[in-house]
Structure 1
Amino acid sequence: MSGTTAMALPAMGLDDLLHGDVVRPGDAEYETARRVWNGSIDRRPGAVARCADEHDVVACVDAAAREGLHPAVRGGGHSFPGASTCDDDLVIDLRRMRRIEVDPDRRVARVGAGALLGELDAATLAHGLSVPAGIVSHTGVAGLALGGGLGWQQRRHGLTIDHLRAATLVTADGHLVHASEDSEPELLWGLRGGGGNFGVVTEFEFDLHPMRPAVTAGAVFWPLDAAPEVIERYREWAAGATDEVTSILVLRRMPPLEGVPAEFVGTLVIAVVACHSGPPEVAEVDLAALRSCANPMIDLIGPTSFLQHQTFFDASYPHGWHYSVKACDIGALDDDVIGLLLAAAEGIRSPRSSIVVWQMGGAVARLGSGSAFRGRDAAFTLNINGNTETASGFADERAWARRLWEDLRPHHAGVYVNFLMDEGADRVRDAYGPDVYERLLALKRRVDPENRFRRNQNIDPDGSASA
């Protein structure tokens, strides 16, 4: 956290060049413009350039090169470590660039880099089409897509990057480049998982697939003392689950959801949140073994719109709370892992902290050849959230998350790059593995040899990595 007074950047000519505008320390809108989703990140940029179009982004990148700056790039501003802001430097803010165009005949969507997942879903589902993308509707499309893009459709249709057919970006030399399989295919490969290392993406082009507007989805909650039986059943059920269902196992304190009795709120629980995109009658059969386990406190699974289900976790991750996450992929929910998770769950104090276990497999494992995403073979990916509403108690929750992550170290099998905090060179390499990292490094040296874009999970052209 900064908490210091920001040093305003010089004009750099941007005020007269941009179709958007520039906000600096002392301006009336500065406090709002500098804020990001994670309230524990308190940085004060020297200027926030609120870009209206690609012309503005080119002007910002050119100005950064002239002034020797290393700009942060903000789409939705949803990164855990606060990669979309900085102290004293330039923020290239893309939030005004959120136009979405859907071509239902070609099943293609063109998406501005400032768009949010909920906006993308609404635009595509209006045509009975979709692109797999996330679980929190106010997440930015750009950051999610550039890192991989886990989501409720992943086991049936893969990750967001598996549907990225092209992208337009401004590279470090100020050139506007279109990356596709026909033009700059290696750059397109790097954008499919390599994060913001290669320039400022201004527009994405996604392939769409048919999607039912209604799904069978929701959560089943059990008291924590039923967790051993629930996890055993879940482990068996997940191993045979069809690709039409994606699920998340959660250990936390019961949130105040609609339909949850007040006396349950705040108690330690284990839950399975699931989304089944097949016909309702098939979903009933596929989910029956899970829902009949033990004696649930409450079962909220039922028919719902996919748009509504995409907001299920919104209230658990609102703007402004303090977030810290530790993450790892694992090969199996074996007895040792289960024991560690259950022991740690007993120590959850904050009503905002949680242990989240994503079910992988299905299409995620099948669609791996054209991207830089490492975790195709993971059975599950974990994120351990040490979260609080304010700074009060945050250090304790963050320490709790780190302890569990350390205890799980013998079971680590990689990490999803979008779940990394500011964790240094080895963890960035771990997110990609040696072969993919070396290929990304070669691409970085070609398109950004001076490491202009380094405020990310960085592929350093000197050969090291730092967040």
Structure 2
Amino acid sequence: MIKDLEAKLGSRIITPDHEAYDEKRKVWNGAIDRKPYAIVVCDTEEDVAAAVKLATEKNLNIAIRGGGHHVAGTAVCDDGLMIDLSEMRKVEVDPEKKIAFVEGGATLADIDKATQNFELATPTGTVSETGVAGLALSGGMGYLRGKYGLTCDNIVGAHVVTSKGELLEVSETQHSDLFWAIRGGGGNFGIVTKFMFQLHKVGPAVLALDVMYDYKDAKAILLQAQEYLKQAPDEVSFNITAAELPPVPFLPEALHHKKVVMLTGMYAGEPEQGEKVIEQLRQMAEPLADHTGIIPYVELQSKLDAMVPDSVPVYGTSLYFKELDEKTIDAVLGKIDSAPAPTALVQLWALGGQMNKIPVDATPFAVRDASFILLVDMMAMGVDEKICEKWVESLYQGLLPYSHNKASYLNGIGLSENVTKTAYAVNYDRLVAVKKNYDPGNVFRFNHNIDPTK
């Protein structure tokens, strides 16, 4: 079979005996160690279509790699065909129409670099090395979420390779059912080889919030953050992170191993006007450090990269909350305090503004009324992976009763049928109908899967 693949796809095929095989099958999460039958490194949409046709012809499972950043390692499968888009990273910008044409393997950094040449941006995430495809297809939250919504909300068109290997152009007027489904429905319906994103005036310099508080003030800060959010303008998006600082040379020795609460975020408007608006976020307790200031947007977008290093085993989970009342805050802080290692990264992102003004059925992304999202990444560094995995599951189960509709953000949690159905809620049945139309055989199933047979 390998010879058949090589005959049809030539040098783009990487097999287990290839010197680049082990490097190419790696994904961001070091806990994932899967070995595909072969890897196809695609350069064009035609390569992608050919790979899909060949995989279905040979009855091989398919995994699709964009950036390879999902905690569940969905970019790679055992014994199947890994279709690798990571070389397809071209970004073209139409500044007049404010549209970015983005290939499916592009990272957030690729997009920001190209669009900021015209002082434009589209909402993405907060780690620049993330691939845009997986992020956008299942939501996409970043510092522009309050002003301009989610990444999926800003998809205005796409090229999609279907399970039959057909290349379709989709938009509101072309294959509108598929267009609706890819704006939050994940990779269930095909491989998106090109996105068209709406752009907005952003930068080149923005007001970036960056305050560090002592962890002992965490409860007071979270209570104040809930109140602040009720009157916050759409221009403000902020994240609250609890972590123990590592003993690294660029930090003062007094902060080594210090548990802290960090507030990071952005004012998506005129920086000078934003200083007064975010002042309260900088005065919620006595700061240990405050590096808030006006910086390049591209710098802000890569500021958190160091917090999520490559090749480290990671176990993650996610839940939404309607409100951070005292009981919920006590439960969250209790779980943080029980972490078995200092490498737990626990984030609460404030939600509101434009992302919550979009009707629930406008896209598959159904959680449009939560006020906070919890994102947890436990890095297994210096502690047994099983212990980390068990703690993350315990945290999820323990906080589930406090959560909003028991729903999770699919970009930040492992694979589960129940998690998938709960996230899509009222939109799930409509997604099943689209799945039956475009992928009745469930070819694209290494994801938060929508099973067309159920």
Structures share a fold, TM > 0.5? Answer: yes
Is 1:199–1:453's contact at 8 Å kept on the other side of the alignment? yes
Match of 2:144 in 1: 153
CA 40–146 in structure 1, closer or farther in 2 if over 3 Å, else same: same
List per-residue Cα deviations over 1:226-261 (Å, max 9, x = no partner): 222222222222222111111111111125689642
Deviation, 1:402, is: 2.1
Match of 2:322 in 1: 331
Give the counterpart of 1:247 among 238, 251, 257: 238
Are residues 1:211 and 2:205 paired?
A: no
List per-residue Cα deviations over 1:267-289 (Å, max 9, x = no partner): 11112112112222222111111
Give the counterpart of 2:413 among 420, 434, 439: 420
Question: Given the two structures, how large is their TM-score scaled by the length of structure 2?
Answer: 0.96
Which letter maps to 1:421? Answer: G
List per-residue Cα deviations over 1:384-432 (Å, max 9, x = no partner): 2222247x4332223222222222111222111212202x211110110
Match of 2:377 in 1: 385
Are residues 1:32 and 2:13 paired?
A: no
Match of 1:457 in 2: 448
RMSD: 1.6
Instruction: Give distance in 2, aligned partners of 1:19 and 1:284.
Output: 56
3-state DSSP of counterpart to 1:312: coil
Is 2:15–2:39's contact at 8 Å kept on the other side of the alignment? yes
Match of 2:7 in 1: 16
List per-residue Cα deviations over 1:311-359 (Å, max 9, x = no partner): 1210011211111112111100011111012222223343331211111
Match of 1:228 in 2: 219
Give the counterpart of 1:53 among 44, 49, 56: 44
Which letter maps to 1:280? Answer: P
Match of 2:362 in 1: 370
Give the counterpart of 1:171 among 162, 181, 198: 162
Instruction: Give distance in 2, aligned partners of 1:35 and 1:460.
Output: 27
Is 2:42–2:87's contact at 8 Å kept on the other side of the alignment? yes
Which letter maps to 2:380? Answer: T
Instruction: Give distance in 1, aligned partners of 2:431 and 2:450.
Output: 7
Is 1:17–1:56's contact at 8 Å kept on the other side of the alignment? no
Which letter maps to 1:290? Answer: L
Instruction: Give distance in 2, aligned partners of 1:100 and 1:19.
Output: 26
Are residues 1:130 and 2:83 paired?
A: no
Are residues 1:306 and 2:297 paired?
A: yes
Match of 2:191 in 1: 200
Which letter maps to 2:377? Answer: N
Instruction: Give distance in 2, aligned partners of 1:300 and 1:405.
Output: 32
**Identical positions, percent:** 35
Instruction: Give distance in 2, aligned partners of 1:143 and 1:202.
Output: 12
Is 2:61–2:79's contact at 8 Å kept on the other side of the alignment? no
Deviation, 1:13, is: 3.1
Give the counterpart of 2:79 among 84, 88, 96: 88
Aligned residues: 451
Provide runs of 4+ in structure 1 moved above 4 Å: 255-259
Deviation, 1:449, is: 0.6
Identify which range, 275-284 or 238-247, moves more after superposition: 275-284
Instruction: Give distance in 1, aligned partners of 2:140 and 2:268.
Output: 18
Which letter maps to 1:212? Answer: G
Give the counterpart of 1:75 among 66, 80, 92: 66
Instruction: Give distance in 1, aligned partners of 2:336 and 2:65.
Output: 34
Unpaired stretches in structure 2, ≥5 consecutive residues:
none
Deviation, 1:366, is: 1.1
3-state DSSP of counterpart to 1:386: strand
Which letter maps to 1:204? Answer: F
Is 2:340–2:391's contact at 8 Å kept on the other side of the alignment? no
Is 1:147–1:418's contact at 8 Å kept on the other side of the alignment? yes
Instruction: Give distance in 1, aligned partners of 2:245 and 2:291.
Output: 13
Match of 2:423 in 1: 431
Are residues 1:42 and 2:33 paired?
A: yes
Deviation, 1:263, is: 2.2
Instruction: Give distance in 1, aligned partners of 2:320 and 2:251.
Output: 31
Instruction: Give distance in 2, aligned partners of 1:290 and 1:49.
Output: 48
List per-residue Cα deviations over 1:347-387 (Å, max 9, x = no partner): 33433312111111100011235310011111111112222
Deviation, 1:23, is: 0.7
Match of 1:7 in 2: none
Instruction: Give distance in 1, aligned partners of 2:202 and 2:155.
Output: 17
List per-residue Cα deviations over 1:87-122 (Å, max 9, x = no partner): 111000001111111010111111000100011001
